[in-house]
Amino acid sequence: MASVEQNKKKEDLEHYLKELGSVAVAFSGGVDSTFLLKAAHDTLGEKCIAVTAKSCSFPERELKEAKAFCEKEGIRHLVVESEELDIEGFRHNPKNRCYLCKKELFEKIWKIAKEEHVVAIAEGSNLDDNGDYRPGLQAVAELGIKSPLRASKLNKADIRALSKDLGLPTWNKQSFACLSSRFVYGETISEEKLIMVDKAEQLLLDMGFHQVRVRIHGTIARIEILPEEFPKLVEGTNRNLITKSFKEYGFTYVTMDLTGYRTGSMNETLNSDL
Protein backbone atom coordinates (compact mmCIF):
# COMPACT_ATOMS: atom_id res chain seq x y z
CA MET A 1 0.00 0.00 0.00
CA ALA A 2 1.26 3.47 -0.90
CA SER A 3 2.36 5.70 1.97
CA VAL A 4 0.73 8.95 3.06
CA GLU A 5 3.57 10.87 1.42
CA GLN A 6 3.14 8.96 -1.84
CA ASN A 7 -0.60 9.63 -1.88
CA LYS A 8 0.12 13.32 -1.28
CA LYS A 9 2.33 13.31 -4.37
CA LYS A 10 -0.54 11.69 -6.30
CA GLU A 11 -2.83 14.52 -5.19
CA ASP A 12 -0.23 17.02 -6.39
CA LEU A 13 -0.14 15.20 -9.73
CA GLU A 14 -3.92 15.32 -10.08
CA HIS A 15 -3.91 19.05 -9.31
CA TYR A 16 -1.16 19.61 -11.90
CA LEU A 17 -3.12 17.68 -14.54
CA LYS A 18 -6.36 19.49 -13.76
CA GLU A 19 -4.60 22.81 -14.30
CA LEU A 20 -3.57 21.68 -17.80
CA GLY A 21 -7.21 21.42 -18.83
CA SER A 22 -6.61 18.91 -21.62
CA VAL A 23 -3.67 16.70 -22.47
CA ALA A 24 -2.22 14.25 -24.97
CA VAL A 25 -0.12 11.69 -23.11
CA ALA A 26 2.88 10.23 -24.93
CA PHE A 27 2.07 6.63 -24.04
CA SER A 28 4.52 3.74 -24.38
CA GLY A 29 2.71 1.26 -22.15
CA GLY A 30 5.52 1.24 -19.59
CA VAL A 31 5.28 1.71 -15.83
CA ASP A 32 5.54 5.50 -15.85
CA SER A 33 3.41 6.46 -18.84
CA THR A 34 0.67 3.98 -17.88
CA PHE A 35 0.39 5.50 -14.42
CA LEU A 36 0.45 9.01 -15.89
CA LEU A 37 -2.22 8.15 -18.45
CA LYS A 38 -4.46 6.59 -15.81
CA ALA A 39 -4.13 9.66 -13.57
CA ALA A 40 -4.73 12.02 -16.49
CA HIS A 41 -7.80 10.16 -17.71
CA ASP A 42 -9.24 9.86 -14.20
CA THR A 43 -8.73 13.61 -13.76
CA LEU A 44 -9.67 14.95 -17.20
CA GLY A 45 -11.87 12.26 -18.70
CA GLU A 46 -12.45 12.76 -22.44
CA LYS A 47 -10.09 15.75 -22.40
CA CYS A 48 -7.25 13.22 -22.18
CA ILE A 49 -6.02 11.23 -25.17
CA ALA A 50 -3.15 8.77 -25.55
CA VAL A 51 -0.65 8.80 -28.41
CA THR A 52 1.71 5.88 -29.04
CA ALA A 53 4.54 5.66 -31.57
CA LYS A 54 4.61 2.73 -33.95
CA SER A 55 8.24 2.09 -34.68
CA CYS A 56 10.78 -0.55 -35.63
CA SER A 57 12.51 0.37 -32.35
CA PHE A 58 9.34 -0.43 -30.40
CA PRO A 59 8.41 -4.14 -30.25
CA GLU A 60 4.96 -5.10 -31.50
CA ARG A 61 4.23 -6.78 -28.16
CA GLU A 62 4.57 -3.42 -26.40
CA LEU A 63 2.22 -1.72 -28.86
CA LYS A 64 -0.38 -4.46 -28.38
CA GLU A 65 -0.24 -4.02 -24.61
CA ALA A 66 -0.66 -0.26 -24.98
CA LYS A 67 -3.69 -0.72 -27.22
CA ALA A 68 -5.23 -3.26 -24.85
CA PHE A 69 -4.85 -0.95 -21.85
CA CYS A 70 -6.52 1.97 -23.59
CA GLU A 71 -9.36 -0.22 -24.81
CA LYS A 72 -9.94 -1.57 -21.30
CA GLU A 73 -9.88 1.92 -19.74
CA GLY A 74 -11.99 3.52 -22.47
CA ILE A 75 -9.25 5.97 -23.44
CA ARG A 76 -9.07 7.40 -26.95
CA HIS A 77 -5.84 6.04 -28.39
CA LEU A 78 -4.03 7.30 -31.47
CA VAL A 79 -1.00 5.64 -33.06
CA VAL A 80 1.59 7.64 -35.00
CA GLU A 81 4.38 6.34 -37.23
CA SER A 82 7.64 7.61 -35.75
CA GLU A 83 9.89 6.77 -38.76
CA GLU A 84 13.02 7.52 -36.76
CA LEU A 85 15.32 5.68 -39.18
CA ASP A 86 14.49 8.37 -41.75
CA ILE A 87 15.72 11.17 -39.48
CA GLU A 88 18.98 12.63 -40.75
CA GLY A 89 21.84 11.32 -38.63
CA PHE A 90 19.78 8.88 -36.54
CA ARG A 91 21.09 5.71 -38.22
CA HIS A 92 24.65 6.67 -37.26
CA ASN A 93 23.61 6.40 -33.60
CA PRO A 94 25.13 9.64 -32.30
CA LYS A 95 25.22 10.42 -28.60
CA ASN A 96 22.15 12.63 -29.01
CA ARG A 97 20.18 9.90 -30.81
CA CYS A 98 17.38 10.04 -28.25
CA TYR A 99 17.06 13.80 -28.75
CA LEU A 100 16.66 13.40 -32.52
CA CYS A 101 13.96 10.76 -32.10
CA LYS A 102 12.04 12.51 -29.32
CA LYS A 103 12.07 15.85 -31.15
CA GLU A 104 10.60 14.30 -34.29
CA LEU A 105 8.02 12.33 -32.30
CA PHE A 106 6.87 15.23 -30.14
CA GLU A 107 6.52 17.44 -33.23
CA LYS A 108 4.15 14.83 -34.66
CA ILE A 109 2.23 14.61 -31.39
CA TRP A 110 1.90 18.42 -31.31
CA LYS A 111 0.31 18.25 -34.76
CA ILE A 112 -2.18 15.68 -33.48
CA ALA A 113 -2.84 17.68 -30.31
CA LYS A 114 -3.72 20.77 -32.31
CA GLU A 115 -6.05 18.77 -34.55
CA GLU A 116 -7.72 17.35 -31.44
CA HIS A 117 -7.90 20.79 -29.74
CA VAL A 118 -5.70 19.56 -26.89
CA VAL A 119 -3.60 22.27 -25.25
CA ALA A 120 -0.76 20.25 -23.66
CA ILE A 121 1.41 17.20 -24.22
CA ALA A 122 2.69 15.18 -21.25
CA GLU A 123 5.46 12.59 -21.08
CA GLY A 124 6.33 10.10 -18.38
CA SER A 125 9.83 10.86 -17.13
CA ASN A 126 10.09 10.65 -13.34
CA LEU A 127 12.33 12.14 -10.66
CA ASP A 128 14.88 9.32 -10.96
CA ASP A 129 15.50 10.23 -14.61
CA ASN A 130 17.27 13.43 -13.54
CA GLY A 131 20.39 11.43 -12.63
CA ASP A 132 21.17 9.73 -15.97
CA TYR A 133 22.30 11.00 -19.37
CA ARG A 134 18.96 11.60 -21.10
CA PRO A 135 19.26 13.82 -24.18
CA GLY A 136 15.57 13.23 -24.90
CA LEU A 137 14.77 15.63 -22.07
CA GLN A 138 16.32 18.40 -24.18
CA ALA A 139 13.55 17.87 -26.74
CA VAL A 140 11.01 17.93 -23.92
CA ALA A 141 12.27 21.35 -22.83
CA GLU A 142 12.56 22.79 -26.34
CA LEU A 143 9.06 21.80 -27.43
CA GLY A 144 7.22 22.75 -24.26
CA ILE A 145 6.31 19.20 -23.26
CA LYS A 146 5.01 18.76 -19.72
CA SER A 147 6.57 16.29 -17.27
CA PRO A 148 3.87 15.89 -14.59
CA LEU A 149 5.57 13.04 -12.71
CA ARG A 150 8.80 14.98 -12.28
CA ALA A 151 6.87 18.13 -11.40
CA SER A 152 5.08 16.19 -8.65
CA LYS A 153 8.39 14.74 -7.39
CA LEU A 154 7.31 11.16 -8.10
CA ASN A 155 10.10 8.59 -8.41
CA LYS A 156 9.91 5.03 -9.74
CA ALA A 157 9.22 3.50 -6.32
CA ASP A 158 6.35 5.95 -5.76
CA ILE A 159 4.88 5.16 -9.16
CA ARG A 160 5.04 1.40 -8.64
CA ALA A 161 3.39 1.65 -5.20
CA LEU A 162 0.61 3.92 -6.44
CA SER A 163 0.14 1.80 -9.57
CA LYS A 164 -0.32 -1.27 -7.39
CA ASP A 165 -2.99 0.50 -5.34
CA LEU A 166 -4.78 1.42 -8.58
CA GLY A 167 -4.64 -2.18 -9.78
CA LEU A 168 -2.59 -1.31 -12.85
CA PRO A 169 -1.05 -4.35 -14.58
CA THR A 170 2.22 -2.46 -15.02
CA TRP A 171 2.94 -1.90 -11.33
CA ASN A 172 5.62 -4.61 -11.40
CA LYS A 173 6.43 -4.52 -15.12
CA GLN A 174 10.12 -4.61 -15.90
CA SER A 175 11.80 -1.48 -17.22
CA PHE A 176 11.95 -1.15 -20.99
CA ALA A 177 13.77 1.20 -23.34
CA CYS A 178 13.56 1.39 -27.12
CA LEU A 179 15.59 -1.18 -29.04
CA SER A 180 17.88 1.49 -30.49
CA SER A 181 19.35 1.89 -27.00
CA ARG A 182 20.92 -1.57 -27.39
CA PHE A 183 23.49 -0.25 -29.89
CA VAL A 184 26.90 1.10 -28.92
CA TYR A 185 27.16 4.79 -29.84
CA GLY A 186 28.49 5.22 -33.37
CA GLU A 187 27.32 1.82 -34.60
CA THR A 188 24.89 1.98 -37.50
CA ILE A 189 21.28 1.21 -36.59
CA SER A 190 19.36 -0.75 -39.20
CA GLU A 191 15.96 -2.38 -39.28
CA GLU A 192 17.64 -5.76 -39.76
CA LYS A 193 19.73 -5.38 -36.60
CA LEU A 194 16.73 -4.12 -34.63
CA ILE A 195 14.89 -7.30 -35.62
CA MET A 196 17.88 -9.37 -34.46
CA VAL A 197 17.80 -7.71 -31.04
CA ASP A 198 14.02 -8.01 -30.75
CA LYS A 199 14.06 -11.73 -31.58
CA ALA A 200 16.92 -12.36 -29.15
CA GLU A 201 15.22 -10.56 -26.26
CA GLN A 202 11.89 -12.21 -27.00
CA LEU A 203 13.52 -15.64 -26.84
CA LEU A 204 14.99 -14.89 -23.41
CA LEU A 205 11.66 -13.53 -22.15
CA ASP A 206 9.88 -16.63 -23.46
CA MET A 207 12.40 -18.75 -21.54
CA GLY A 208 11.35 -17.03 -18.32
CA PHE A 209 14.14 -14.52 -17.75
CA HIS A 210 12.66 -11.53 -15.96
CA GLN A 211 14.81 -8.54 -16.92
CA VAL A 212 16.60 -8.73 -20.24
CA ARG A 213 18.79 -6.61 -22.48
CA VAL A 214 20.66 -7.86 -25.54
CA ARG A 215 23.28 -5.23 -26.40
CA ILE A 216 24.71 -5.37 -29.90
CA HIS A 217 28.39 -4.77 -30.69
CA GLY A 218 28.81 -5.51 -34.39
CA THR A 219 27.96 -9.21 -34.61
CA ILE A 220 28.52 -9.76 -30.87
CA ALA A 221 25.50 -10.13 -28.59
CA ARG A 222 26.12 -9.06 -24.98
CA ILE A 223 23.36 -10.46 -22.78
CA GLU A 224 22.41 -8.61 -19.61
CA ILE A 225 20.18 -10.45 -17.13
CA LEU A 226 19.72 -10.40 -13.37
CA PRO A 227 22.77 -11.94 -11.61
CA GLU A 228 20.58 -14.43 -9.75
CA GLU A 229 19.55 -15.86 -13.14
CA PHE A 230 23.12 -16.45 -14.39
CA PRO A 231 23.02 -20.20 -13.58
CA LYS A 232 19.84 -20.62 -15.62
CA LEU A 233 21.45 -18.98 -18.66
CA VAL A 234 24.52 -21.21 -18.75
CA GLU A 235 22.69 -24.45 -17.95
CA GLY A 236 23.44 -26.88 -20.77
CA THR A 237 20.11 -27.08 -22.59
CA ASN A 238 19.39 -23.36 -22.24
CA ARG A 239 22.90 -22.36 -23.30
CA ASN A 240 22.70 -24.51 -26.40
CA LEU A 241 19.27 -23.13 -27.37
CA ILE A 242 20.37 -19.53 -26.86
CA THR A 243 23.63 -19.80 -28.81
CA LYS A 244 21.98 -21.75 -31.65
CA SER A 245 19.06 -19.31 -31.91
CA PHE A 246 21.16 -16.15 -31.66
CA LYS A 247 23.39 -17.37 -34.49
CA GLU A 248 20.30 -18.04 -36.58
CA TYR A 249 19.22 -14.46 -35.92
CA GLY A 250 22.55 -13.20 -37.32
CA PHE A 251 24.93 -12.96 -34.36
CA THR A 252 28.40 -14.51 -34.65
CA TYR A 253 29.32 -14.48 -30.96
CA VAL A 254 27.07 -14.75 -27.90
CA THR A 255 28.35 -13.41 -24.57
CA MET A 256 27.02 -12.76 -21.06
CA ASP A 257 27.81 -9.53 -19.20
CA LEU A 258 29.08 -10.57 -15.75
CA THR A 259 28.00 -7.26 -14.23
CA GLY A 260 24.41 -8.18 -14.99
CA TYR A 261 21.44 -6.10 -16.02
CA ARG A 262 21.46 -2.35 -15.46
CA THR A 263 19.76 0.53 -17.21
CA GLY A 264 21.72 2.66 -19.66
CA SER A 265 24.84 0.51 -19.74
CA MET A 266 25.80 1.98 -23.12
CA ASN A 267 26.13 5.35 -21.38
CA GLU A 268 29.07 3.94 -19.39
CA THR A 269 31.27 4.69 -22.41
CA LEU A 270 30.39 8.39 -22.41
CA ASN A 271 32.69 11.04 -21.01
CA SER A 272 31.86 12.07 -17.47
CA ASP A 273 31.33 15.66 -18.57
CA LEU A 274 28.20 14.63 -20.45
Q: Which residues are catalytic?
A: 178
Q: Tell me the C-alpha to C-alpha distance, in Å, between residue 112 and each of 17, 50, 115, 216, 245.
A: 19, 11, 5, 34, 41
- In one-letter notation, the amino acid at residue 238 is N
8-state DSSP, 221: E
> Distance between CA atoms of 212 and 175, rounded to whole angstroms?
9
Angle between helices 60-73 and 31-44 (to 10 degrees): 20
Burial of 80 (C-beta count, 10 Å sphere; 0-12/13-18/19+): middle
Q: Is 112 helix (H, G, I), strand (E, B) or coil?
A: helix
For the chain, what is the radius of gyration of the CA atoms? 19
Q: Find, among 136, 116, 138, the residue nearest to 23 by Cα.
A: 116
